[in-house]
Chain A
Amino acid sequence: MRAIKRIIPLLFFIPFIYSSCQQNDEYVSELPQGFPELEIPEDNPMTNAKIELGKKLFFDTALSRDSTISCGSCHFMQNAMTDPKRFSIGIDNQAGTRNAMSLANVAYGTSFFRDGGVPTLEIQVITPIESTEEMDIPIVDVAKRLNQNAEYRKLFKKVFNDEVTPFGITRAISAYERTIISGNSPFDKYHFQGDDTALNDSEKRGMELFFSDKLNCSSCHTGFNFSNNTFQNNGLYVVYEDIGRMRIEMDSVNYGKFKVPTLRNIEVTAPYMHNGSLNTLEEVIEHYAKGGMHGKYQSELITGFDITDSEKQDLINFLKSLTDKDFITNPNFAP
Chain B
Amino acid sequence: MKALRYILPLFIFITFTFSECEDDPKPILPVENNLRLDFSASVGTNDFSVDTEFLNEDSHPTKFETFKFYISRVTLVKADLTEIEVKDVALVDFKSNFSKKVRMNVPSGNYVAIKFGIGLDSVLNASDPATFPQSHPLGISQGTYWSWASQYKFAMFDGRVDTVGNLGSATDVLVSIHPGTNPLYRKIGGLQHTFTTNTTSTEVVNIDVDMFEIFNGDAGKVDITVDNQSHVTPSDKHIATRIMDNFVNAFSIE
Contacts and interface: CB of A to CB of B under 8 A. Distances in A.
Instruction: Tell me the dominant secondary structure on chain B's binding face.
Output: loop
A303 to B, nearest CB: 28
Interface residues of B, number: 20
Contacts of B134: 140
B183 A250 contact: yes
Contacts of B233: 247
Interface string A300-333: 0000000000000000000000000000000000
Interface in A136-179: 138-140, 165-167, 169-171
A140 to B, nearest CB: 4
Contacts of B147: 118, 123, 126-127, 130-131
A135 to B, nearest CB: 11
Nearest to B140: A166
Interface string B23-40: 000000000000000000
Nearest to A252: B234
A117 B126 CA distance: 11
A43 to B, nearest CB: 7
Contacts of B126: 119
A244 to B, nearest CB: 11
B85 interface: no
Interface string A231-269: 000000000000100111010000000000000000000
Interface in B166-213: 181, 183
Interface string A102-135: 0000000000010001111011001100110000
A167 B148 contact: no
B237 interface: yes
Contacts, number: 59
Given A166-B140, A250-B237, A139 B148 contact: no
Contact of B148 (A113, A138, A166, A250): A113
Contacts of A113: 148
B61 interface: no
Given A117-B150, A127-B147, A167-B131, A250 B140 contact: no
Interface string B67-100: 0000000000000000000000000000000000
Contacts of A243: 234
Contacts of B183: 250
Contact of A166 (B130, B143, B149, B237): B130
A163 B69 CA distance: 30
Nearest to A171: B130
The CB with the most chain A CB atoms within 10 A, among B141, B143, B148, B237, is that of B148
Interface string B108-148: 00000000000000000010111100100000110101011
A119 B140 contact: no
B180 to A, nearest CB: 11
Nearest to A248: B149
Nearest to B142: A140
A119 B148 contact: no
- For the complex of A and B, the 3 pairs showing the least CB-CB separation, nearest first, are A127-B147, A126-B147, A166-B130
Interface of B: 126, 128-131, 134, 140-141, 143, 145, 147-150, 181, 183, 232-234, 237
26 contacts: A43-B131, A117-B148, A117-B149, A118-B147, A118-B148, A118-B149, A118-B150, A122-B128, A123-B130, A123-B147, A123-B150, A126-B130, A127-B148, A130-B147, A138-B141, A138-B143, A139-B130, A139-B140, A140-B134, A170-B128, A243-B234, A247-B149, A247-B233, A247-B234, A250-B181, A250-B237
